[in-house]
Amino acid sequence: MLSAVVAPAVILVLAAGVWIVFGAGAACGVIAIGYGALIVHHVRNLDALTRWAQGGDQEAVPEGTGVWRTAFSAIYRRKRVTRAHERDLAHTIERFQSAAEAIPDGMVVLDTQNRIKWANLRAQALLGLDLAHDMGAPLVNLVRQPEFVRYLDTGDFRDAALIDSHRDAAVTLAIQIVPFGVAEKLLIARDVTQVEAVARMRRDFIANVSHELKTPLTVISGFVETLQELDLDERQRTRFLSLMREQAASMQRLVEDLLTLSALESEHNTVGDEPFAIVPLLLAISADAKSLSHAQHEVTLDVAEPATVLGSRDELASAFGNLVSNAIRYTPAGGTIRLAWRVDGDGSGVFSVTDSGIGISAEHVPRLTERFYRVDRSRSRATGGTGLGLAIVKHVLLRHQADLEIASEPGKGSTFAVRLPARRVRGSRAATENVVVPSGDAAAGAEVAHAGNDHLSH
Ligand SMILES: Nc1ncnc2c1ncn2[C@@H]1O[C@H](COP(=O)(O)OP(=O)(O)OP(=O)(O)O)[C@@H](O)[C@H]1O
Ligand SMILES: [Mg+2]
């Protein structure tokens, strides 16, 4: 302020001096020239200021002259501080945005009219949005599932809504809306397909187990009632008791199979890598098969190449045993059951059971290893099946990184083959031998069904 009056004051003092020496006319001349120069100086600086103010954000602040230099450098300093603030702010927004992108859930910000204001990439993928086109569009135009529209309309956002993704019906999404600000909403979308599948499996499993236990329990309690209320003769009593025993045995088998499954699923129960010779195991299984068949089938064993297998002998015996017991159970008397072992060119070892039984039509094959899945419930139950056998086989094979290959034709028969990975099989090409065990001489041995389960469940 003070510096701004220095120049006019100096001109006045100079004019006063000139007045004394040269008179009033000369003094007026000095004032006119001095103030004229001052006005030019101010106009030029003002012009520079105007041009700068009208220019873009990147325009450098003019340097200015005289008093203007001070003013311009003050503007320049303030601008530098503002720029630094802007940079900080932009950086913070960027960090927030990358944090929002890093969140594994989809997030959409909706305005008061439920129009899309912002969405992270995950939300765009889950809900099929494309921000380039959909920014500002009402969300219900893009996510049209009735459950979602209803959820948004009710305004009750205490719980999440479950919807099937419109991009893939197999994907289930949980949508949760969180109101914030002034009637704005944050929508969070999460892929809960796995969680839902597990919950459904648990529900199905409990329903199945209850159902399986209900039948024998009903039968037993019916018999108990009869025994209590009726005066039966010794022969009838024995018959009823033996029927009750059968039902109790079926429940026991079910519980044993469930315990086996849970032991196999337990994370703490890791598979042992003991090496064992496959041939003695195959011989034992084939002997059990013959005992189970009661000479009703022709059972043969064909070993193309003896081998040492790394894995749990008990678990594999249980898995192989189940395949064999199925073959016998689902092959009418007079049929053939061929057990075979070979080592393929890639080093994998294959145990196969081929029967000439009833076979399985193609639509059932992918579901056979599901718990309690039976093609013909009554037939399986009549033969004492729990429907857990192949589920146990699948678990054992998973633990051994082995595959189950199923080929079947209704009316012709089936082949169930277990392929053990090469790293679990040490073949001995040199000592190739062919062991064909003729049928008939049923070896001693208990039931082959779930032969190894006892070891697992206790
Ligand atoms: N070799 C086979 N031939 C025809 N059907 C078969 C054969 N093996 C399995 N199945 C079908 O697959 C279903 C499931 O077999 P799984 O071994 O899991 O159960 P299960 O034999 O009924 O009972 P268990 O638990 O006692 O083994 C059987 O009920 C049967 O319908
Ligand atoms: Mg079975």
Q: How many helices (H) and strands (E) does the chain have?
A: 14, 13
CA distances from 375 to 204, 212, 365 (A): 17, 16, 9
pLDDT the model gives residue 288:
95
User: Could you tell me which residue, 452 or 148, shows the higher pLDDT?
Assistant: 148
Rounded Cα distance between 376 and 391, Å, is: 16
Ranking 44-58, 117-131, 234-248 by mean pLDDT, the lowest is: 44-58
Mutate to test the pocket of ligand 1, among 208, 251, 257, 330 (most ligand atoms within 8 A of CB): 330
Q: Indicate whether 327 pLDDT > 80.
A: yes
Q: Indicate whether 433 pLDDT > 50.
A: no
pLDDT the model gives residue 384:
67
pLDDT the model gives residue 381:
63
pLDDT the model gives residue 78:
92
320 sits in which H/E element = helix 313-329
**Residues ≥6 apart with Cβ < 8 Å to 325:** 289, 292, 389, 447, 448, 449, 450
Rounded Cα distance between 103 and 136, Å, is: 23
Q: How would you classify the pairing of strands 403-409 and 336-343? A: unpaired
50: burial class by Cβ within 10 Å (0-12, 13-18, 19+)?
Answer: exposed
CA distances from 28 to 4, 10, 11, 294, 309 (A): 21, 14, 11, 141, 120
pLDDT the model gives residue 155:
87
Q: Give the pocket of ligand 1 (CB within 6 Å).
A: 257, 322, 326-327, 330, 355, 357-360, 368, 373-376, 380, 385-391, 414
Residue 61 DSSP SS3: coil
Nearest CA to ligand 1 atom 17: 389
Instruction: Give the position, in ligand 1's atom list, of the atom nearest the Cα of 326.
Output: 8
Neighbours of 10 (CB within 10 A): 11
Instruction: Give the position, in ligand 1's atom list, of the atom nearest the Cα of 384.
Output: 26
pLDDT the model gives residue 56:
77
Average pLDDT value for residue range 221-236: 90
Average pLDDT value for residue range 9-35: 92
Rounded Cα distance between 54 and 67, Å, is: 21
CB 282 within 8 A of CB 291: no
- 3-state percent helix, strand, coil for the chain, nearest multiple of 5: 55, 20, 30
Mutate to test the pocket of ligand 1, among 368, 395, 397 (most ligand atoms within 8 A of CB): 368
**Residues ≥6 apart with Cβ < 8 Å to 386:** 212, 250, 253, 254, 257, 372
Q: Which token pair is 208?
A: 């199945």
User: Could you tell me which residue, 99 or 418, shows the higher pLDDT?
Assistant: 418
CB 289 within 8 A of CB 328: yes
Which residues lie near ion ligand 2 (Cβ < 5 Å)? Answer: 326, 389
pLDDT the model gives residue 430:
42
Q: Indicate whether 441 pLDDT > 60.
A: no
pLDDT the model gives residue 63:
87
Neighbours of 147 (CB within 10 A): 12
Residue 248 CA to ligand 2 center (angstroms) comes to 19
Rounded Cα distance between 337 and 355, Å, is: 4
| CA-closest candidate to residue 384, choices 304, 457, 322 | 322
Mutate to test the pocket of ligand 1, among 252, 363, 380 (most ligand atoms within 8 A of CB): 380
How many residues does the structure list for the chain?
458
pTM of the model: 0.66
User: Could you tell me which residue, 63 or 380, shows the higher pLDDT?
Assistant: 63
User: Could you tell me which residue, 4 or 350, shows the higher pLDDT?
Assistant: 350
**Banded pLDDT at 166 (limits 50, 70, 90):** confident
Rounded Cα distance between 159 and 170, Å, is: 22
Residue 456 CA to ligand 1 center (angstroms) comes to 21
Instruction: Give the position, in ligand 1's atom list, of the atom nearest the Cα of 376.
Output: 31
